[in-house]
Each structure stands twice: as structure tokens, then as C-alpha cells.
A and B are shown apart, each in its own frame.
Chain A
Amino acid sequence: MPSICFYFQVHQPYRLRNYTIFELDNDYFDDSKNAEICRRVARKCYLPSNLLMLELIKKHKGKFRISYSITGVLLEQLELYAPEVLASFQALAATNCVEFLAETYYHSLSFLYSREEFIAQIRMHEQAIHRLFGQTPRVFRNTELIYNNDLAFLIEQMGGFDMILAEGADHILGYRSPNFVYRPPNSTKLKLLLKNYRLSDDIAFRFSNRNWSQWPVTADRFAAWINAFNGNGFVVNLFMDYETLGEHQWEDTGIFSFIRHLPSEILKHPDNDFKTPSEVAAAYEPVGVFDVPHTISWADLERDLSAWRGNPMQENALAELYGLEYKVKNTDDRAIIIEWRKLQVSDHFYYMCTKYFSDGDVHKYFNPYDSPYDGYINFMTVLDNLNSRCHKVLLQKKREPFSILSGEPSPSLM
């Protein structure tokens, strides 16, 4: 002990194009921009990182182990724009040292709005993971590590999962350490794995920060920090966006070389090892209850929902979107249902965040819009168009109640 548990979040949204009330078509998404970004991130991050991980797994003969959660919307884009990345993830899957986690296919906030939709999207994602990587996920992570007791209860009811990942939020943990396995208060079977945000953020956010007192951090120093937990922790959970490697922290920061040397430095200590979340679940028993009545996430300093639900525009956009659920599903129109789901990607609401807007802070870097207002206007204009399409289809259906096509299976739950 301790074990190192790496989990990388891999995600790219479908960004909307600039859509005004004067548009005559229903093309909501900016295909060329999405393709361009997908290929750029593939080049800078996904491909070199996957290659590196493969190299490390081979080099350490199965002792280096990692996990990924890849969103359905990214898998779709990779198939379209960067199939070589998908192939390299499949190569990683074939090593048996890589675990793929389950989440909502559309990287959505559906847990907060519609249980039916939430469950449908998890099932969709499981199927995609099984189809592409031959694994049936046993560990669940919700969008942006959004978590509370109800989520644990629901996931346990759904069955098929051993563990959920969550943020090791200080205000819940108190004096306790994130480096143990916990359990939800209302569950007997599920285990919780909590992000060690200090060490995770040392890599994800502070790695290239020259004003940070610990800069530059090297693999051996980082390993020494890990070794310090020996005897007082089971597992150090390093959770981060995969884009940290090469996209958020550029190659010239030395991030790849850091990762390249990290496994051997960590494995120098005979008590250390690498485990995937499922292996952690099998190896360790919970030491206590992690009680989360109020929702937490891994976002910003607040570790709450304020990045997506922090202002009235965000609340309104989400309420309107999920308010359309039954209308959308009743159309039985495959295109409408898919587009409605693509609008659920949480990034759309993150773009509307005004929290740090006045200071022009980090949110801006990831934002395709000049301002949160533009994000809201664009989203609502698209949603308005989708709504009117639903009306048209539903009106049509009313007129032809005995359509010969109505015998076809409903695509709504695929």
C-alpha cells in the first residue's frame, strides 16, 4: 500500500453553430469546428497519450494499470473524425490493464432532471463500451463527478455496479482522508472511490504553474508524496481530464515525460502498486460512510453545481430542455430525439456560467462563445427550433393515427 488509481475523463462536446432565428435549416451543430477540434486534440493529446500508456503497460508487464471514462458523444466523433484514436483505445483495452467506466452517454445532467433519461443514457453508454471495447462496466462515474446519496441509491437499484467515483470534497470528508474506500449511507453493496484533489490537481492544474512553490514537480518527487501515505491510506485516486496531457498542459511543459517516468518511480517502493477502480473495489473494504445529502461535483472551488446551475439563464435553459422530454419522445422521430440528447451535453450550460465572468477567468478558455449571454441565446434559439419541429411532427401524427409506418419499433430508447 498505497495503490495508485488513475482515472482519465475523455470527452468533447458537440458544439453548436451560430444559430439565429433567421435560419431556415435544422443543422444545429458546427460539424467543421467539431471535426477540427477533435482532430487537434487527437493529435496533441489522445494519440501521443494512448501510445505512451501502451508503452508503459508493456514496459511494466501489467503492473501499470489505468481507467478511462469516454463519453458516447466523443466515441461518435472519434469514429467520424479520428478513427485511429478509437483503434488505439481498443489496443489499450486488449492489454487487460485498462478499465472502462460507465457514465451517461451524452455527458448530461439528466440525473438532476429525469431518472428515465438518466438510466437510458447509462444503458446506451454501457452498450457502446461493450461494442467497442468488449467490457461491461462495473464502475459508474456521473458527469463532472456530480454525486449525492440519491445517486448512489439509484445506481444500486439499477444493479450491475460495484463502485461509484466521487469528489473527495473537504466539506464532506472533514478530517478524514480521501485515500480510503467509503460507502454511501443508504447502501450495503456499493463502494465509493474519492478523488484526491490535491495530488490530482498538482498534475491537472498546477503542473506548469511557475508561481507554484513546488514547481517543477518531477516523477520522483511526486512518488515521494505518494510514499508518504504508506501506512495511512489504501489508495490514492488521481482523477483528471485526459486532455490534461498535451492539451491543457502542453507537451513543452514536460507533462509526457513526467507521466513516462512516474510508474517506475512509484513502483520503486515495493509496497506501491497500480489498480483500476474495480480492482480497488475487490481489494479494499469501506472504512466509513460518506454522507452527501447535498449534491457535490469536481468543478471549481465550490465543488457544487454552480458551474451549470449557478444563474437563472442556466436553470431556465435546463428546465426548458428537460421540459421537452415527453414531447420529444412522443414524436418517435429519431433525428429529433438524438438532437435533443446532444443538447443535454453539460458543456452547453457551462458556457452560460457567469460566476467568474467579470474576472475573465478559466471558464473562458474552454468557451466557444464571447460571453455566457451569447451561449444562452444560441442554445435557446436552437431549442425553440427543436420545439417547433416537435409540434409539427406531433400534429402530423394526430392527423394520421393509423399510419402504416407506426408498426415500426420506437427508436426512442435505443
Chain B
Amino acid sequence: MSSETGHHHDPLDPGHLFGHVQDAHHFELPHAIADEGKLHILQPFEPFIDEVLVKADPDFHMAPFDLLVSKFMVLEVVAAIVLIFFFIGLARKISDGTPARGKWANMLESMLVFIRDEVARPAIGREDADRFMPFLWTMFFFVLICNLIGLVPWAGSATGALGTTFTLAMMTFGMVLTAGIRKMGLIGFWKSLVPHMDLPFVLAIFLLPMIFVIEVAGLLIKHLVLAVRLLANMVAGHLVLAVLLAFILKYADSYAFFGVAPVAVAGASALTLLELLVAFLQAYIFTFLSALFIGTAIHPH
């Protein structure tokens, strides 16, 4: 069995397990379909690098860029296309004020209204929330679709890479900064980070700068944690699934296979259902915290 699947190394090797979860420059496919189980992604920039840049300078080094299209980039574009397809379709149906008709339209609309009424408006406030709805809706559904694509066999979740989650968190950070600065002015926003305290002048000279530094660090950490939380949840779930399924390969050559395989498949199925919950939950948490941070920025106290 193992000879068929082509695994000649330890299936429980961490490097191998992570390889299934992390970004790559190829899609993992069954060996019957793709050569060596890998479908390499077409690299549009490769000829340019090889023919132009490296030829001109053999020592050419572009780090940290490699100009390679990765699996997650492709899946992000897929998520974006799905998103655009769904919601422009929904917009056509309900933009004239008529009620949504059909299962899809109603499902999408109820999610949109949930994000608006239960997440954005309580966190940001009734009158300000509507300005941020495009951002929050896009964020929720982009994260959600990326998470859900991770449950499709042979695909992967783009939210399982720091490059993605960090950038999304920075989008929120940018939104928080612009919203706060637009509301209170450049200086007003930074001043609002420091809570107002009645301190004697001498103490204030020492304490207020320290509090300011701590608050700014806290602001950054808040957004980094936003990125790491999503990343960790997606990676951990997929990693557990990978480990469970790797047990099957590990015992493929022994009689233990007949005991391990059903348990592993059952466990992986159950965990996939859990992942489905996590996909929605993490998208919700990311959006909820983004709304909360924006709300805090424009209503500091």
C-alpha cells in the first residue's frame, strides 16, 4: 500500500505533516491523477526571472521575494471570485428593496444582516457602523471562504499561513488607524490611547510616556494576536487531521492497519465537522474583534 502511495519516508515526520498544511508551489493530488501527487502551479514570472534577471546578474538575489505563485495565492483568488460571484448575484436580487428569494439569497442575506446587526452595530455604534460594513462584510466572507476552501479535499486554507492572516490583521489595523485619526485627528487619536488620569505633574512626566508606549505596544499586539489566533486555529485543526490520517499510512504494512484505519477515518470525519464550526467561528471572531477595535478607536472611552 505504501509503495502505491509513494511515501518512502516516515508519514508522521513533522516536516512531512506540515507540508500538507502549509503553503506550497503545487497542489497535492492523488498519485493516480498527477505525477508524483503534485500538480505544479504555472509560474508566470519564472521565465522573466530566469531569462532576464538571473542572466543579467548570476548572483541576483531577491529575498524576501521569490515571485512564485503559490497554492494559497491561487486559493485566495478563488475565494475572491466566489465572493464576488455570490454577492453581486445577491445585490442584483435585493438592491431594489424586494425581499430575498431562494435559499442562497436568504442564507447570504441573513449572514450579512447578522454581521451588521449583531457584530458591527453593537461594537461600533448604530450611526458609525454602516461606514465600516463593506470592510467588515468583505473581511468576514473572505476569511470564511478561505477557511471553508481548506475543507475541500486537495485544496488548503489560505488562512493557514501567517502571510495571509498577518496581512488581513494589518488591514484591520489600517482601518483602525484611519477611522481613529479621521474621527479625532492625528494627535487626538494618539492622545486618546492614554486614559485620562489626575496625576501630579512630576508623576505625569514619567508615567504618561510609559503608559503611551505600553498602549501603543498593546495596540500592535492586539492586531498581531488577531493574525496569530486565526493562523493557529486553522493550522492546528488541519495538522490534527493530517496526523490522524498519517496514522493510516504509518500502519499500512501491519495488521494494526485494520484497527487504526477505521478509527482514524471516523476521527478525521468528526474533526472535519469540528473544523466546519471552527471555520465559521474564526471568521466571526476575526470580524467581531475587528469591529471591536474600530469601535474602540472611534469611541476611546
Chains A and B belong together in one complex = no
B interface with A by C-beta (< 8 Å): none
A interface with B by C-beta (< 8 Å): none
